[in-house]
Amino acid sequence: MHDIGSSSTEWLDSNESGADSLVVQLVDQGYDVYLAGLRGSNGSTGHVSLATDSFDYWNFDLDKYVTEDLPAIIDKIQDRRST
């Protein structure tokens, strides 16, 4: 999970020494890796019912990340793994 003001694509960047990122290394070893995007970050504009130019889309706080977004992300991963 990325921090506020960032995006999950930063997990794909090589490090300063040019070595592959941890994500790339894990994928190369056969692990499933999920990169989630928090509200407002690049790639997270596909809300199911709210437009990005609406007040309600941007009306969230860290509590909503913890109580709504993270459980939804975990549920999505579990759904994909069970298929």
In this structure, is residue 15 part of a structural domain? yes
Structurally, the chain folds into a number of domains equal to 1
d(C-alpha 16, C-alpha 62), whole Å? 31
Q: Which amino acid is located at 82 in the chain?
A: S
Per residue in 7-66, pLDDT (tens digit) is 777 778 777 777 888 888 999 999 998 888 777 666 666 677 888 888 888 888 888 888
Q: Return the number of other C-beta atoms located less than 10 Å from residue 1's C-beta.
A: 14
In this structure, is residue 3 part of a structural domain? no
d(C-alpha 7, C-alpha 37), whole Å? 6
d(C-alpha 46, C-alpha 38), whole Å? 11
Range of the domain at 59: 8-81
In this structure, is residue 16 part of a structural domain? yes
Q: What is the pLDDT of residue 2?
A: 64
Q: What is the pLDDT of residue 1?
A: 67
In this structure, is residue 54 part of a structural domain? yes
Q: What is the pLDDT of residue 27?
A: 92
In this structure, is residue 2 part of a structural domain? no
Q: Return the number of other C-beta atoms located less than 10 Å from residue 60's C-beta.
A: 14
Q: Which amino acid is located at 50 in the chain?
A: L
